[in-house]
Amino acid sequence: MDRRLRRSALSSSLRGLAPRLDASSFGYMPTPDSIPGLRRGPVVPPQTLSQPPPESADSMHLCFYGAEGQGPHFLYEVPSLTPIATVITAFAAGSAAVNGQDDFSQRLAIRTSRLNQRLPCRIQQVDPGHLTLKFLQPVSDSDLVFIGELFLEDRAFHSGLSYYHHHWDSGREKDILSPVRREQRLCLRWE
């Protein structure tokens, strides 16, 4: 068999395996300690979590609030080039509501990365029960449709939008995600 054909056949057979292989397949799940350059600051009081995190004194870092498991929230700084997906999986965002779905944080990270490519954002808060993203540019009607497509179709992701379901005023707002445009942030909660 020609060398190129063998390589192509091998590549084709491996391509089918790729989506099933991830860090959890090898018994490794990232943790905050595995994020290069991550700095943990002081404990953050619960009443502070509703406010945006402060700006980092280092222009090459971004700040966010994060917690591992049910532990306290801390102020974290991460290098500004750190992918959002890395932080989401390391803090197991969304895992509080999806027992038995080891890949949920990874699937959330993929969807959030797609969102970040279209509508740049930063993490404000991340923990197993929360993910709050702050958008860096105005959210348009087509952006709301895109967010809806990402998070409303899958039941587990849809449940993360419970905050909007409970606070939606259908008499005043045409879309359940209208607060996303008004607040320029997306709050996902699984509790």
- Residue 42 CA to residue 74 CA, distance in Å, equals 6
pLDDT digits (tens, 9 = 90+) for 4-58: 433 334 333 333 333 333 444 334 557 888 899 999 999 999 999 989 999 999 9
Both tokens assigned to 98? 């999806």
Where along the chain do its domains lie? 25-189
pLDDT of residue 115: 94
Looking at every residue in the chain, the average pLDDT score rounds to 80
Residue 185: what residue type?
A: R
* CB-CB contact of 84 with 121 (8 Å): yes
* CB-CB contact of 79 with 56 (8 Å): no
Mean pLDDT of 87-105: 77
